[in-house]
Amino acid sequence: MVDTVTKSGAADASSVNPHHRSSLKKLMQRKSTIAFLLTLPLILIVASLVIYPAFYAIHLATLSKSMERFVGFGNFTFLFKREVFWMVVMQSCIFAISAVFFKALIGFFVAHFVHAIPTKGQRKWRGMLLVPWVIPPAMSTLAWFWLFDPSYSAVNWLLVGIGIDPIPFLGNPYWARFSVILVHVWFGAPFFMIMYLAALKSVPDQLYEAAAIDGANWWQRLWYITLPMMRNIISITVMFSLIVTFANFDIVRVLTAGGPIDSTHVFATYSFLLGIQGGDIPLGAAVSLFMVPILGVAAVIILRDITKRGGEA
């Protein structure tokens, strides 16, 4: 009887296992499964380095200054009543939008300029134009600080040499904002250039040849061929640059430290001012959390547009 049960169990296992093995084999052959398994270590690293600090920041934002008492939304309501905070919100949006716009515009035209150069000379130009992007931001910003220094400004020395009054680049709120945006553009435009250059090289030459045969001019080729073929790359590059620019700390910190009169503070530097320098870490955490919904909305809009175009294609 025991032998009979054993044989029947073995028969059932032999009848089930091949099916499971085939299902597992099919699952492992799927590209999505393979991609997920290959990226799983990176997902775990991102989760440990991003998700945990994010939830911890939410926890900190609900505590008192001594970090011993739960205050709920007290830090947020306190910030809502401060005029400086709303100025920081406005300045962060202005800095990010204007800097990304000019980075995208300059990067687009520089990419076309490099793309038009013969292949042998492109490597040299790409190397030279990428220098601002590969230099650490704090180091390059320090060089700009010396250029704008109120006492020893090389830019003002040149302006005085041609008969123009010196400009208080870092002492006047409007010129300080202009200086911050200028450094952002100088640092980030090469990233747009290299991304757009890669997108230009992926556009088939046959499309331009067909358009030339049909009599299309430069503007028509740009509008009806180049831009539609580059739209996804443009959108993704703008999204990443918007996130990086919005959360940037070192450029504002080194160049103006948020001054004059808090006129150049962004979320990162204002959070540092309140949390680290002011000793109110929960309040600083509350300031930093305001970046999340703004960047989340921007990312959703851009990604939805990309998905919509992908569905239409």
**DSSP single-letter state for residue 203:** S
Q: In whole angstroms, what is the distance from residue 154 CA to residue 48 CA?
A: 46
Q: Which one, of 186, 178, 203, lies nearest residue 110 by Cα?
A: 186
Residue 179 has pLDDT above 90, yes or no: yes
- Map residue 264 onto helix, strand or coil: coil
Residue 8: pLDDT band by 50, 70, 90 thresholds?
Answer: very low
Q: What is the dihedral of CA 129, 133, 136, 139, to 10 degrees?
A: 60
Q: Which one, of 81, 120, 97, 21, lies nearest residue 286 by Cα?
A: 81
Mean pLDDT of 257-261: 87
Q: In whole angstroms, what is the distance from residue 145 CA to residue 134 CA?
A: 18
* Strands of the chain, DSSP E: none
pLDDT of 23:
62
Give residue 303's Cα distance to chain centre. Answer: 14
Residue 153 φ/ψ, nearest 5 degrees: -65, 125
Residue 307 has pLDDT above 80, yes or no: no
What does 218-250 look like in DSSP terms, one character per residue? HHHHIIIIIHHHHHHHHHHHHHHHHHHHHT--H
pLDDT tens digits for range 191-223:
999 999 988 888 888 888 888 888 888 888 888
- Are the C-beta atoms of 206 and 121 separated by less than 8 Å? no
- Map residue 168 onto helix, strand or coil: coil
- Are the C-beta atoms of 294 and 93 separated by less than 8 Å? yes
Rounded to the nearest integer, the mean pLDDT of the chain is 84
Report residue 30 as tokens: 């799927």
Residue 29 has pLDDT above 70, yes or no: no
Residue 216 φ/ψ, nearest 5 degrees: -75, 135
Q: In whole angstroms, what is the distance from residue 192 CA to residue 129 CA?
A: 11
pLDDT of 226:
86
Mean pLDDT of 223-232: 86
Q: Which one, of 100, 120, 99, 108, lies nearest residue 194 by Cα?
A: 108
pLDDT of 20:
54
Q: What is the dihedral of CA 77, 78, 81, 86, to 10 degrees?
A: -90
Which of 4-13, 14-23, 42-51, 194-203 has the least mean pLDDT? Answer: 4-13
Regarding predicted confidence, which is higher, 253 or 294? 253
pLDDT tens digits for range 32-83:
777 788 888 988 888 888 888 888 999 999 999 988 899 989 999 999 999 9
Residue 19 has pLDDT above 80, yes or no: no
- Map residue 70 onto helix, strand or coil: strand
